[in-house]
Amino acid sequence: MKSYYITLSVVGWIDVFTRKEYAYAFMNTLKNWQRKRELKLYAFVIMSNRVHLILDIREEELDTFLEDFKNYSSKQITNLIGKNENEYRADWLLHMLSYFGKYSKENNNFQFWQNDDQFIELRGTEQIAQKIDFLHQRPVVSGIVFRPEHYIYSSANPHSQIHVVRLMDTRIQLKRIVFS
């Protein structure tokens, strides 16, 4: 297993996640993947047009995971946009997602996520801890909140609905393994 810092960006940098319904749909997808695929997630933050994740996955499964996860989450969110009676941007959003899908080899109807996946392999708990702090600071740097734990779409929030593996738990386990 390797640890990765992953950024998924919405096509055209469209601000989809300004609506709580879509952020919650993404979080529900993440929770389902944690349960069904035993995804080991260290941290996440959902910004208006992108998502940052820190997780463990086997190197040989990374490409498949990204492809499957992006496909599943994009269908969930796109369907929700189409059904959301309170979304005054629905026609525009679906038009834009259709526009980007039209020019993509991988899609024929809609494209939600950009194709250029960004991921960085993280080595060791120190580097993971640095990236977790960096990730949790994104809403603060963007001027959305004053403190990371106040942002509701983040693992920094103590009331987050998504279970994350705390790095301290990992460090304790590592110490036990080393000294046992």
Amino acid identity for residue 82 in this structure: G
Neighbours of 62 (CB within 10 A): 17
Q: What is the pLDDT of residues 99-147, one digit of tens each?
A: 998 876 666 678 999 988 889 999 989 999 999 999 999 999 999 999 9
Domain ranges, residue 64: 2-179
Q: With contact defined as beta carbons under 8 Å apart, do 7 and 51 qualify?
A: yes
Q: Dump pLDDT digits (tens) for 37-73.
A: 778 999 999 999 999 999 998 888 899 999 999 999 9
CA nearest to 131, candidates 102, 155, 97, 95: 155
For 145, counting Cβ atoms within 10 Å of its Cβ (0-12 exposed, 13-18 middle, 19+ buried), the class is middle
| C-alpha pair distances (Å), 97 with each of 11, 44, 107, 109, 157 | 7, 24, 10, 8, 30
Residue 122 belongs to domain with CATH number: 3.30.70.1290
Distance between CA atoms of 109 and 112, rounded to whole angstroms?
10
Across the chain, what does the average pLDDT equal?
89
Distances in whole angstroms, Cα of residue 52 to Cα of each of 107, 146, 167: 23, 19, 17
Give the pLDDT band (50/70/90) at residue 180. very low
Cβ atoms of 73 and 26 closer than 8 Å: yes
Residue ranges with strand state E in 24-178: 40-46, 50-57, 118-122
Q: What is the pLDDT of residue 171?
A: 45
Query: Higher confidence at residue 137 or residue 167?
Result: 137
* Beta pairing partners, 10: 113
Residue with more model confidence, 180 or 147: 147
Strands (E), 15-136: 40-46, 50-57, 118-122
Kindly report, residue by residue over 6-42, the tens digit of the pLDDT.
999 999 999 999 999 999 999 999 999 888 877 899 9
- Number of domains composing the chain: 1
Between CA 12 and CA 178 the distance in angstroms is 47
Q: How confident is the model at residue 168 (pLDDT cuts 50, 70, 90)?
A: low
